[in-house]
Amino acid sequence: MFAIVESGSITSMPKGNKGVEINGIKHPASIFTLWSESERNAIGVYTVEMDNTNRKDTEWYQNTGITYTYDSSANKVKGTYGTATAKAHADTLYTNDDKTNNDIPSGKDVGDVKQEGLKTILIRQVKQKAESILNQTDWYVVRKADTSEAIPSAIDTHRAAVRSKQAEQETAITNAADTPALQALYTRNESGVRPLGDLPTLE
């Protein structure tokens, strides 16, 4: 992304795929690819330098819009994020105020879930993942019900391990104090290991 600076102020943010007019002079789109940065700067065109210091993982946070500023002392245009807001870790419920303002849809009432928090979403994902893994060996259970043929011990052990790890993960998610704590559970180290662990898969 580029910025056009005129009289010390950013006047437009061209993408670089079309020609531009600056101070009454038309320039072709090729200036964005063929000209050097210094050549563009000379006519008031700058490549935007992004400062991602405040930008956070969008799985856990809502980032603000980007503010673009021209730094005359450094002769650069920078884009910066404001302070990110953590997504709600707990469900948001309908309140009496919602009822007073007629903001509760039909079929819902005070205390019902208005918007799911991260915990609810993540626990549902754990359940879905565990179900997907267990589905791979469900046929052993069906066969036993139909023919009384025993389920191999390794399969029994695997299915029990999946359920045990599922319960452990759900408890860890439930007990997380806030969004940063949830994020920490899912953050893998250099070895690819995360505090939450992973559901076992069949070897």
Residue 55, pLDDT > 80, answer yes
Say yes or no to pLDDT of 136 above 90.
yes
For 150-195, the pLDDT digits (tens) are 999 999 999 999 999 999 999 999 999 999 999 999 999 999 999 9
pLDDT of residue 202: 87
- Residues of 30-65 as b/e, b for ≥16 C-beta within 10 angstroms? ebbeeeeeeebbeebbbeeeeeeeebbeeebbebee
The dihedral formed by the CA atoms of 172, 187, 84 and 50, expressed in degrees to the nearest 10: -170
Residue 203 banded pLDDT, cuts 50, 70, 90: confident
